[in-house]
Structure 1
Amino acid sequence: MSFSPFRDERGAAKELAAVTYADLAQLADMDEGYVLEFKRSFTSSVKAKVPKIIASFANSRGGWLIIGIADDDRSICPVPRLAADYGQIIGELCRRHVSPAPPFDVRFIPNPANEDEGVVVVRVEEGSFPPYVADGVVEIREGSTSGPATGAALVELYDKATRRQSRIAEFCRRTVFFARPVPLFDLYLFRMDTVGRDTPSRDEVAVCAEAMRRAFAAQRLECHVQHAHDSLIFRTSVAFDGMAPHSAIELFPDESIKLTVPAVLCPPAERDRALAALRAACTPQVGEAGRTAPDARQVGAAERTEDAGDAAPLMGAAEQVEPGAPVCLRGAGVAAGAAKTAHPRVMSASDTLRRVTRMAAVLDRYIRERRGSWQPYATAYELENMAGVLLWSDDPLYLSYVRGHGPLFCGTTDCRSRVRYLNDGAHDAFRARQFAGSHFFEACGLPLGSPDPEDNALVDALLRG
């Protein structure tokens, strides 16, 4: 945990959520400094300084701004409770005056003797992507005050942001082992507010593990735990060759998370029915000029693979190529005698989506169990081993969509999305379940927020299904 001016009875640092009005007495022996600043009142002049103070903390090592404490003798001078929440007021000040949005939290701690007054405590985290600019000026901490950054300090701030981006990119390449290659949907959640915090103890890691087990139990899922060298892996089934691949959640000591969900591939009979329906929907229509629609060839193209030998390990035992199946030539220059047989892989949209959203709901439950928030996280999603896997749904709207646009399938082996930062003010209502569900279809080729009403109607229909 990073610096806190408040300590519990054992001397351990307290988080903002645990601070009580009685704890304010601990400030009596403290001076303002690099990570601590006091303001007696919340006047208009103080409001004007708040964005600069918060930006300077975010550009430095984080810090605490406490409003309602005299800066000369550290006496408690309660400020009145306002009709509006102090968090909203300070948040709006920063939205207007600071860019990008700095990471901070605000709490009004009421006076037990008079609930209409109290002290405002602002906890500012060290920013992950500096510089944070307040009204056109890059402010940093200089002793107990804030001031403009010099040239050397600016270079260091930009370097810090670059290093953080590299760490996130490296995290988004984590791989959870499966006994055989399978098509996977991955969701990466990198926690950004742990810079400078101590490595958690075994007991703290055990508390996190128990919260994850409770989250699995809440979804009525089995939970099998594996210990990796730097993480814990929670699986819904035992990881063993020959067993059906199931989902996994990798949890790191800093509470960064990776969710890995195998796609649900259709068994042979259902796959054949799906392919027949897709072929029928994509039957070429001859126009007035005698040309056929280009989308009519997409199913056939998706059925061919550059290396048919790569397809067999991606199927379950029930999905292996049947004797007498049609032959698919591998590629130009490959001898006909070297050709192999393989069926195209078809993924059930409804079954895979159900699996994705159920596992993502485990993550939401875990955050609630930990009494945390998604705002400190950066997130991205990825598809692995998905090249050419056809998306199938028997929803009439999907078949209608296929007639006009062609079937949906992943166009490349690995499709990693851009990173989204959940503390940017645009993701205050973020839930892993909704995000994973909708972006699963985006990863399969269906654009979210498309101007085409047919795209949006299909997303809604598939999510309902």
Structure 2
Amino acid sequence: MVFSPFRGDQGDPKPLSAVTFADMAQLAGYDEGYLLEFKQEFSGSVKAKLPKIIASFANSRGGWLVIGIADADRSVRPVPRLSADYSQIIGELCRRHISPAPPFDVRFIPDPADSEQGVVVVQVEEGTFPPYVADGIVEVREGSTSGPATGSVLVELYDKATRSRQRISEFCRRTVYYIDPVPLFDLYFYRLGAGGQELPDRAVQNARAQIMAECFAAQGLDCHVQHAHDSLIFRASIAFDGMVPHSAIELFPDESIKLTVPAVVLAGQERAVALERLHDLCGIDAGASFNVVSAPDTLRRVTRLAGVLDRYVRRRDVPWQRYATAYELENMAGVLLWSADEVYVRYARSHGPLFCGTTDCRSRVRYLDDGEHGSFRARQFAGSHFFEACGLPLGSPDPEDNELVDALLRTERGARR
């Protein structure tokens, strides 16, 4: 784990979510420095300096800012609770003055003796995509203060951002093995800012695995755990030869995640009926060798497994904004989508059926800390982007496209497992 000035009963570093007002007494043993800064008041002058301080931590190795601690003797000097949330105030200051948005969390920790006053603790993570520019200046830590970066430091910061993007790109091409090549929809979540953390010990990994298994059960899914060389794979079924391939979640030590969902490919009479309907609607050759995928049944798989991830991050108290995400198609080239929903039938008659118009491909990477994903849910994201991957543009100006998205998202509730 990265540096924390707060320790638990066993001497382990405490995350911000576990810090209490009583823990402020531990700060008496620290001086301000490269990773730690104190402010006694939340005054106008402190507000003016906050973007510079936070940006300097993000451009360096991260750090902690504690407001309500005297600089001279580290005694606790509680600040008043404000009508607006401190995280909103500090977040807005950073949005206005720092570009890009740095990774940080804010907590107001009330005094148990008087809940109307307390301390403000800001934890800043080492940024993944520096430099972070505060009011036109790239600030870095210099001892216990911050100052403008020199030319060589700027080059190092840009190189770091380039390496980070390369790591994300490499992660978003990892493949979970299936015995037979089947059409797959993959969703990647790369944990930002975790590169400098130590790998968790076996007990921590086992605890995370137990939480994931409980999240599978809460979604009504079986869970079979398989150990890979650097991850755990949680499958919704035992994947032996001859069995229908089922969904999987791959969990990495830094809590990066990959979701893999095999499409529900129609066979036998179901496939024949779908092709016959598509032939009548838009002239598709009913005797062709297309793979035909059930849109509602595949969507149900996608959203149920993404629902497991939503439960997991809630249990782990990990904000989705700490992730970069992308989706990928495997073995989906030319696959036709079918739904008996009347809206889809009308759409296929006028526009043709939805199908994957590319060979294996990956979407662009989206960064969930961009200010546009404040209420992000993996289930909603996976459901809508499954259709984007299959040729239906999100946010299309065509009302028929939007009507179809709404209709297909509704049909998943009644679909098979």
**TM-score category by the smaller chain?**
over 0.9
Matched with 1:104 is 104
2:9 & 2:277 partners in 1: Cα distance? Answer: 68
2:94 & 2:154 partners in 1: Cα distance? Answer: 21
Tell me the secondary structure at the aligned position of residue 436 of structure 1: helix
Matched with 2:33 is 33
Matched with 2:198 is 198
Q: Deviation per CA, 1:271-293, whole angstroms, max 9, x where unpaired?
A: 1211121122215xxxxxxxxxx
Matched with 2:52 is 52
Give the aligned CA root-mean-square deviation in angstroms: 1.1
Q: Do structure 1's residue 255 and structure 2's residue 245 form an aligned pair? A: no
Matched with 1:390 is 336
1:176 & 1:127 partners in 2: Cα distance? Answer: 30
Q: CA deviation at 1:415?
A: 2.3
Which residues of 2 match residues 235-314 of structure 1 at below 5 A?
235-283=235-283, 299-300=284-285
2:348 & 2:296 partners in 1: Cα distance? Answer: 17
2:44 & 2:177 partners in 1: Cα distance? Answer: 57
Matched with 2:415 is none
2:400 & 2:206 partners in 1: Cα distance? Answer: 48
Letter in 1 for 2:144: S
2:277 & 2:249 partners in 1: Cα distance? Answer: 35
Which residues of 2 match residues 415-426 of structure 1 at below 5 A?
415-426=361-372
Q: Find the partner of 2:304 among 327, 338, 358.
A: 358
Matched with 1:123 is 123
Q: Deviation per CA, 1:106-164, whole angstroms, max 9, x where unpaired?
A: 00011111111110000000011111111111111111111111111110001010111
2:149 & 2:396 partners in 1: Cα distance? Answer: 42
Q: Deviation per CA, 1:287-332, whole angstroms, max 9, x where unpaired?
A: xxxxxxxxxxxx35xx8xxxxxxxxxxxxxxxxxxxxxx6xxxxxx
Q: Deviation per CA, 1:167-188, whole angstroms, max 9, x where unpaired?
A: 1011011110101100000000
Matched with 1:231 is 231
1:113 & 1:247 partners in 2: Cα distance? Answer: 50
Q: CA deviation at 1:414?
A: 1.1
Letter in 2 for 1:250: E
Letter in 2 for 1:268: G
1:371 & 1:134 partners in 2: Cα distance? Answer: 29
2:107 & 2:259 partners in 1: Cα distance? Answer: 32
2:29 & 2:231 partners in 1: Cα distance? Answer: 40
Letter in 2 for 1:390: L
Q: Deviation per CA, 1:354-384, whole angstroms, max 9, x where unpaired?
A: 0100011011111122222211111100110
Q: Deviation per CA, 1:201-255, whole angstroms, max 9, x where unpaired?
A: 0001001100011001101211111111101111111111111110111111111
Q: CA deviation at 1:258?
A: 0.5
Q: Find the partner of 1:461 among 391, 400, 407.
A: 407
1:243 & 1:268 partners in 2: Cα distance? Answer: 17
Tell me the secondary structure at the aligned position of residue 319 of structure 2: coil
CA radius of gyration, larger in: 1
TM-score between both structures, scaled by the size of structure 2: 0.97
Letter in 1 for 2:60: S
Tell me the secondary structure at the aligned position of residue 375 of structure 1: helix
Q: Deviation per CA, 1:18-74, whole angstroms, max 9, x where unpaired?
A: 111111011112111111011110011100100111011001100001101111111
Q: CA deviation at 1:386?
A: 0.3
Letter in 2 for 1:253: P
Assess if the C-alpha contact under 8 Å between 1:415 and 1:443 holds in 2.
no
Q: Using the TM superposition, name which of 16-25 and 403-412 deviates more.
A: 403-412
Note the residue ranges of structure 1 that are not aligned, 5 or more in a row.
284-298, 304-325, 327-341
Matched with 2:359 is 413
Matched with 2:218 is 218
TM-score between both structures, scaled by the size of structure 1: 0.87
Matched with 1:375 is 321
Tell me the secondary structure at the aligned position of residue 101 of structure 2: coil
Q: CA deviation at 1:343?
A: 2.3
Letter in 2 for 1:50: L
Assess if the C-alpha contact under 8 Å between 1:6 and 1:26 holds in 2.
yes
1:131 & 1:351 partners in 2: Cα distance? Answer: 45
Letter in 1 for 2:222: E
Q: CA deviation at 1:413?
A: 2.2
1:197 & 1:344 partners in 2: Cα distance? Answer: 47
Assess if the C-alpha contact under 8 Å between 1:187 and 1:258 holds in 2.
yes
Provide the identity percentage: 73
Letter in 2 for 1:236: A
2:221 & 2:199 partners in 1: Cα distance? Answer: 30
Letter in 2 for 1:123: Q
Matched with 1:189 is 189
Q: CA deviation at 1:83?
A: 0.4
2:218 & 2:351 partners in 1: Cα distance? Answer: 40
How many residue pairs get matched? 411
Which residues of 2 match residues 439-454 of structure 1 at below 5 A?
439-454=385-400
Q: Which runs of 4+ in 1 moved over 2 A?
A: none
Q: Using the TM superposition, name which of 401-410 and 237-246 deviates more.
A: 401-410
Matched with 1:14 is 14
